[in-house]
Amino acid sequence: MSKDQVFFDEMFAKGVDPRNPYQSIHEWVSSEDPKALTKKAEEAEIFFRRTGITFNVYGDDAATERLIPFDIVPRVLAAREFSKLAEGIEQRVQALNAFLHDIYHRQEILKAGVVPTSLVANNIAFEPKMIGFTPPGNIYTHIVGVDIVRTGEDDFFVLEDNARTPSGVSYMLENRETMLQMFPELFSSNRVRAVSDYPERLLKSLRASKPLKCEDKPVVAVLTPGIYNSAYFEHSFIAEQMGAELVEGHDLQIIDGRVAMRTTQGYKAIDVLYRRIDDEYLDPLNFNPDSMLGVPGIFDVYRSGGITIANAPGTGIADDKALYSYMPEIVEFYTGRKAILKNVETYRCSEADSLKYVLENLEDLVVKEVHGSGGYGMLVGPAASKKEISAFRKKLEANPDNYIAQPTLSLSTVPILTKKGLAPRHVDLRPFVLVSPKKIDIVPGGLTRVALKKGSLVVNSSQGGGTKDTWVLRD
């Protein structure tokens, strides 16, 4: 990344006057005593710690539980900006769901040669047991997180799709709750759209996807791997906020062809299970026989119409970063329109010409594992040392099919509060999408992740990033 590279600043753009969405926030920060703001930031950290908003870091013996840093300067999007995003996200999610139905049924997109058959057939996330089966309501992706980056006033790109078990919504909600408690006056002077009703919207959306055998009001539960999972706080938080039971595999049994959870009054049938465990561990009779986390036989109940599993097994292929490179074609194939939201240019290292280019330009590219997540297993070329690049080159040459590469984007910056005042830092945005047979519901906000280190482009919390409250203004 060039030292003289210019980034779009969401508060100031290229001038000294704040852009319209940020005028009120700029006035607020300018009028406040810097020491008072710093104290408020410290209070926010205490609030998060008391609430228990932490996440686990695997392989970190020194500290297995960490607090995600929270910055009190909100990220602000005008109504017009978010409206454009929402239109593009809805189109993309429609296409993803249509793609998943197609590859598990007629496979028209493969027959048309739009997507290579090998990319699906040889994909570890493709689930053959889903072939020929249609989930309740024909919904595969009940909850989706779409990672968005910005490079200019009207330039938004999709960085990746999260259709397996997207996380982060608890931080979106707690970030807003923290701001409401600490700065209520800001919400009196700004018309900010609410996100606090997300749990009610999620519950309504899940119930709308009830299975065939559900005749009464659908019973919803959240399936967690347990307290040692990195996102356990979120699992318990969502269940509590929805008024649903939080269950583990050992709490469930198959009774009379239904999945039932243990309660103080005996076993009670579940209609919709919001699962937060991977396909592999869902059912030891159908998937990984060594799994101690899932429920033996749950997949058979699912296929017989006795339960809805959200998200559907086999949706993980939609997260595949090699498949991502075909998303513009996938969107147009199923919607008949050009993609509203652009993809980041992507080099598939499985292809000889692309691999040659990537190996020759490693210092300028971001290289990611096809099935990677959380910022792990990736190389940010411009920020890497010669030793790191050399080591990564060997991994790439040994297993090129496992990687894709992208140019280093000029990610937009937003201000964070530092000891020296406001300073720009790079961000991305994960809006959350709820999909049911009735509608696609996009929450007016999302999780803004911010790279707290100066010049860093890695926003993942596991890699030292933080979060912000995301404001979408009303018209």
In the chain, % of residues over pLDDT 90: 76
Average pLDDT in the 403-419 region? 92
Point out the least confidently predicted range of 46-55, 73-82, 310-319, 364-373.
Answer: 46-55
pLDDT in tens, 306-362: 999 999 999 999 988 889 999 999 999 999 999 999 999 999 999 999 999 999 999
| Whole-model pTM over 0.95 | no
| Cα 364 from Cα 335, distance rounded (Å) | 34
Domains of the chain: 1-123+139-191+320-343+425-475 (no CATH), 345-408 (3.30.1490.270)
Question: How many angstroms separate the CA atoms of 429 and 432, rounded?
Answer: 10
**Residue 387 pLDDT level (bands cut at 50, 70, 90):** very high
Place of tokens 């200019």: 152
Region 74-94: mean pLDDT is 97
Residues 6+ apart with CB under 8 A from 216: none
DSSP 444: S
Q: Is the pLDDT of residue 59 over 60?
A: no
**Lookup: tokens for 82:** 């978010």
Q: Rounded mean pLDDT of 401-428?
A: 92
Sequence-distant (≥ 6) Cβ neighbours of residue 441 within 8 angstroms: 201, 205, 433, 434, 435
